[in-house]
Structure 1
Amino acid sequence: MYKKYQIKWLLILSAIMIICTSFLGQADLSRTKWCHFLDHSIKIFVPIAGCWMIDGYFLTNNFRRLSGYPKYLLSILLGIVALLVLSYLIDQINPENYFYANKIGYQTSKDILLHLGGNSFLSLICYFVFSNRYTSATLKKTMIEKGLLERAHLRAQLISLQQQISPHFLFNSLSTLKTMVNDPSAKKYIVHLAGVYRYVLSFNEHYLTRLDDELKFISSYLHILNERFGHMLRVDMDIQQRHTALLLPSLSLQLLIENAIKHNVCSEEHPLYISITTTDLPALKVENNLQPKRSRLERPGTGLKNIIERYKLLVDKPVEVDSNNGKFTVTLPLLTHESNYN
């Protein structure tokens, strides 16, 4: 589908060429009938539109075996062919000439060279106008997406564990509290809680984090949850070692676990089971048994919405959300190089 600005500039370029050729072809335009002017406009517009569509196809699509200058050159050459063929076909369908005193035919080699030269120049104009407008629109879109990503990152901070209290203050307080407590279980709890806040502090610095770092954080986070829920919450992990160096948005896994607990019953009678695995896509799959709380309306959690929004801005791979057969599954694509997504 062509964008509005692409159609707009096709019409602008066609209008300029129609007006220029009208003045070049006939000095006294006041005597020209509207039907003749319309005929002339169609003969100019249709070949330009064909060339424009070819340029659009090559500039807006990526090809595995064709890129760089060969791709651009092929686009221009095919544009010349389109201009020549469409101009010739239209001239054969309607050979009437209302504008040019000395119309160029197709009989001699000189005529063909004149057509070839003029259409080559016009193909170059079409290519550079489309390329300029497309590049400008792409840069504008990139700037908008960068702003959206920054706002999404800010919203992720707001829904993280930093919402209520300064992590620096709390982390320092936990370190002090550890020295004051003698109970080994309490000390272990404090160590894990401090680990959670240490990770949250580092979250400020990066959009993406390695999977193994996220899993270390989740280990501390799950220890805290187990103190609260005990056997009511059961989490199993099966992570392939070759995936641990891949990347995902910071705190994504924590938000999915929190989302599962928030929206499902977690009790002695109905334990909540959460499975965390990696797939060969590669992707991280988080699945829980579906037992929604009756007091809550069925709507996606804020954390899940945030993750989906961040993935849309980071990479052209969707987050898969599936809810059937008594299971709720979220599949997060695992990313490779951080520099490609920031």
Structure 2
Amino acid sequence: MFKSYHLKWCFILIGILVGGTILGRSGEVRSWSASQIIGHIISVTFLILSCWLVHCFFRNARLPLPNKIRIVLSMATGTLVALTIIYYYDLYVPSRFLPPRDIQVDESFDYFLRRFVAGFFVNMICYIVFNIIYTNNILQKTQLEYEQLKQAHLRAQLISLQQQISPHFLFNSLSTLKNMAGEPDTKKFVVQLAHVYRYLLNYNEHHVTALSEELSFIHSYLYILHQRFETALNVRIDIPDRYLSRLIPPLSLQLLVENAIKHNVLSPEAPLNIYISVNSQNELEVANTYRPKKTTEESTGLGLQNIKDRYQLLFNSEVSVNNTPETFTVSLPLIRNERNHN
């Protein structure tokens, strides 16, 4: 959280206010002792820093409060802190360490009012400056994340064109269709192939998709793969209905299934098993038997890295990977769909 405190700007503000007060009272400052000048700098520094940290806390803390209540509490607390510090310095710090006072320290209403106005003014300056800097940084961060998201989305399209909707996939699908000519399942194969390409073309318009839509696509995709690999590929999907409205980046499952097939040995005698489920952490888990091809080309990891990048940019979430001698497992966070509250 301290990264969001912008302390550099706080000390710049302290320098400006200290310099401003000294220049504004240049005639009086000439008669101040060195200890009074140092005391003045310390008091202003401590006063502004305290108010600054109050506003930082209310801006960054995860409090279950509306924004308007946060603002009121921030201003009230900052003013109270400033008034307490001013009163403490007036009452307890020896006069030799502070500039000459412009008002007698007592319990009169006039003393309280003037110190309250001074504390409120300093607190207001801190609040305005901090929120200007904070808002500007948020806008810059949002713009940067938006540009990164566009780049990640473009990379996803590129990977899709290179790997998932590549000529090889189309060629293999058409070859399978040719071998099925005249069989009763030919029409079903064509329907599933059309479903796959419809999803692949439509997903480019969206950054996220419901898990139910991704699973519907995956069933069509797996139907085509099963016609090609037959018993060499065994995929089991076990997803409770309550997770179907959760969100994931489109083609995440397809990328993981394709990678498992691409980089592992599979045959009717030793089929590749892929299990898609939800783990105890409410994450979508894709696990496959780990039998890497000995002659396969070196993996670039672009598909998995793309999924990680999109999760980070879209949801600020991490994708976990666990590789054992027997299995390769990827866990994808399932993001709640706020419209459905599931």
TM-score by length of 2: 0.84
- For 2:159, the equivalent position in structure 1 comes to 159
The question of 1:292 aligning with 2:292 is answered yes
Counterparts of 1:85-104 in structure 2, within 5 Å, are 85-90=84-89, 92-97=92-97, 99-100=99-100, 102=102, 104=104
- For 2:209, the equivalent position in structure 1 comes to 209
Confirm or deny: 8 A CA contact 1:26 1:99 kept in the other structure: no
- For 2:40, the equivalent position in structure 1 comes to 40
Counterparts of 1:1-342 in structure 2, within 5 Å, are 1-3=1-3, 6-29=6-29, 36-64=36-64, 66-90=65-89, 92-97=92-97, 99-100=99-100, 102=102, 104-161=104-161, 181-279=181-279, 282-295=282-295, 301-324=301-324, 326-337=326-337
Q: Residues 236 and 300 of structure 1: is their aligned pair in 2 closer, same or farther, counting only changes over 3 Å?
A: farther
Q: Whole-Å Cα distance in 2 between the matches of residues 230 and 256 of structure 1?
A: 19
Spell out, residue by residue over 1:40-96, the C-alpha distance to the aligned partner (whole angstroms, 9 max, x if none). 1111011110110010010122312x2222221111111122223333445524542
The structural deviation recorded for 1:159 is 0.8
Q: Whole-Å Cα distance in 1 between the matches of residues 41 and 103 of structure 2?
A: 16
Q: Residues 325 and 223 of structure 1: is their aligned pair in 2 closer, same or farther, counting only changes over 3 Å?
A: same
What letter is aligned with 2:290?
Answer: L
Between 1:26-35 and 1:212-221, the stretch displaced more is 26-35
Q: Which runs of 5+ in 2 are unaligned?
A: none
Q: Whole-Å Cα distance in 1 between the matches of residues 192 and 270 of structure 2?
A: 27
SS at match of 1:27: helix
Between 1:306-315 and 1:180-189, the stretch displaced more is 180-189
Q: Which runs of 5+ in 1 are unaligned?
A: none
Q: Whole-Å Cα distance in 1 between the matches of residues 249 and 2 of structure 2?
A: 33
Spell out, residue by residue over 1:261-298, the C-alpha distance to the aligned partner (whole angstroms, 9 max, x if none). 23333234543211011357543221122333345699
SS at match of 1:322: strand
Confirm or deny: 8 A CA contact 2:239 2:278 kept in the other structure: yes
What letter is aligned with 1:75?
Answer: S
CA RMSD, Structure 1 to Structure 2 (Å):
3.3
Spell out, residue by residue over 1:244-275, the C-alpha distance to the aligned partner (whole angstroms, 9 max, x if none). 23321110110111122233332345432110
How many residues of Structure 1 are paired with residues of Structure 2 in the alignment? 333
Q: Whole-Å Cα distance in 1 between the matches of residues 242 and 93 of structure 2?
A: 64
Q: Whole-Å Cα distance in 2 between the matches of residues 119 and 37 of structure 1?
A: 20
Spell out, residue by residue over 1:193-222, the C-alpha distance to the aligned partner (whole angstroms, 9 max, x if none). 332211111112211122222112111211
Q: Whole-Å Cα distance in 2 between the matches of residues 113 and 139 of structure 1?
A: 38
Q: Residues 165 and 159 of structure 1: is their aligned pair in 2 closer, same or farther, counting only changes over 3 Å?
A: closer
SS at match of 2:182: coil
The structural deviation recorded for 1:243 is 2.1
What letter is aligned with 2:53?
Answer: M
Confirm or deny: 8 A CA contact 1:232 1:271 kept in the other structure: yes
What letter is aligned with 2:48?
Answer: I
Q: Residues 15 and 109 of structure 1: is their aligned pair in 2 closer, same or farther, counting only changes over 3 Å?
A: same
Identity, % of aligned positions: 41
What letter is aligned with 2:67?
Answer: G
